[in-house]
Amino acid sequence: MIPVAPPTEENLSLAARALAQGGLVSFPTETVYGLGANALDPMALARIFEAKRRPFFDPLIVHIAHRSSLEILCASAPTRRGHTLPGGEGGTGYSDPRAEKLMDRFWPGPLTLVFPKSGAVPDLATSGLPTVAVRMPAHPVALELIRRAGFPVAAPSANPFGRLSPTTAGHVRDQFREGIELILDGGPCSVGVESTILSLAGETPVLLRAGGLAREEIEALIGPVADAASFQARPQSPGQLPGHYAPRTRLRLLRGSGSADLSGPASGAARIGYLGFRSVPADGGFAAAEILSASGDMREAAANLFACLHRLDRLELDLILAESLPEKGLGLAIMDRLGKAETGSARDP
């Protein structure tokens, strides 16, 4: 059994030593729990892919505690207003006002930025891409762990590949029986969905993944951003494959008029669970139900999403019906996760 421990001084030091020795540590961020390894150690990175059963073509996000770490990771990127980093291998250095504005406003926070990578970043971390995805998490445990480790930490979500993301230490413990040295328990995640990923590697900013920071907030700061292709054979960032975030139980997303007509989707299944935004239909006859936010608060809904799905998934239901949410603000990220959960759960026997 993998030890689960509070983030005391002793346990943080133990976790940092485990990372330095090439081990894996699960730790909380404001988005979801991560499965961390030394981002500069190819052997440690390989353990992430092995533990998660993650395909090697799916790149990782690198977490940092100080902007100065960008000097190691990026071929060229700004650290703070008025300063630029010296180029990495072959880099020339540049000043990107978009990046400076975004980091000043949203770091630490649920925003991942994609930059041209330096030669110090192992190809395994980026799946051979010429770019690296970086973020600074807004969680004191994550930041302290990275500071104590003394190096950037690559950390995808701490779940088997394609399955529900963990927002508590218990979710991590329930999905792994071995392969992780320690799980640091920092309580429930406050944001509850993965970070927004924005590429700044080209002239036009590109939204690679909707997440915990609303697109509208980004565009209010730097102007319009382009959409990535809905699916590519080779992902340019985590979360772009069509079958992510899936429960073991088959999930059906109720779209449009289907949200009001439950008789069709529910027929033929003995035990139906329901995931509602603000309420549950009175005549649904559901075996179990979860509400994302009774007040209709989209931030609360995002924070509760994976925890609600985990609870429903543990009940051995025949089907989970999920209500559609408005696709604006954080609703875009929630609907992205639900759509991929539907696709991923349908693939299981």
Q: State the helix-helix crossing angle for 140-149 and 9-20, rounded to 10 degrees.
A: 50
Pairing of strands 182-184, 153-154: unpaired
Pairing of strands 196-199, 34-38: unpaired
Q: Rounded CA gap, 237 and 59, in Å?
A: 6
Overall average pLDDT of the 277-297 stretch: 93
- Write down the pLDDT at residue 268: 55
pLDDT digits (tens, 9 = 90+) for 225-256: 998 864 354 455 555 555 567 899 999 999 86
Angle, CA of 235, 108 and 157, to the nearest 5°: 40
- Write down the pLDDT at residue 237: 55
Mean pLDDT score across all residues of the chain: 87
pLDDT digits (tens, 9 = 90+) for 129-167: 999 999 999 999 999 999 999 999 999 999 998 899 999
C-alpha distances (whole Å) from 13 to each of 4, 25, 113, 141, 266 are 15, 12, 28, 11, 51
Range of weakest confidence among 55-59, 207-211, 250-254, 285-289: 55-59
Model confidence at 85: pLDDT above 90 = no
Please report which confidence band the pLDDT of residue 196 belongs to, taking 50, 70 and 90 as the band edges.
Answer: very high
Q: Rounded CA gap, 287 and 191, in Å?
A: 28
CATH code, residues 251-346: 3.40.50.11030
Please report which confidence band the pLDDT of residue 96 belongs to, taking 50, 70 and 90 as the band edges.
Answer: confident
Please report which confidence band the pLDDT of residue 325 belongs to, taking 50, 70 and 90 as the band edges.
Answer: very high
- Ranges of beta strands (E only) in 46-151 are 61-63, 78-80, 83-84, 111-116, 131-135
Question: Where do the structural domains in the chain lie, given as residue ranges?
Answer: 4-227, 251-346
Model confidence at 265: pLDDT above 50 = no
State percent of the chain over pLDDT 90.
Answer: 74
- Write down the pLDDT at residue 42: 94
Q: Domain 4-227's class?
A: alpha beta
pLDDT digits (tens, 9 = 90+) for 6-26: 999 999 999 999 999 999 999
pLDDT digits (tens, 9 = 90+) for 300-324: 999 999 999 999 999 999 999 999 9
80 CB burial (10 A radius; 0-12, 13-18, 19+)? exposed
Please report which confidence band the pLDDT of residue 344 belongs to, taking 50, 70 and 90 as the band edges.
Answer: confident
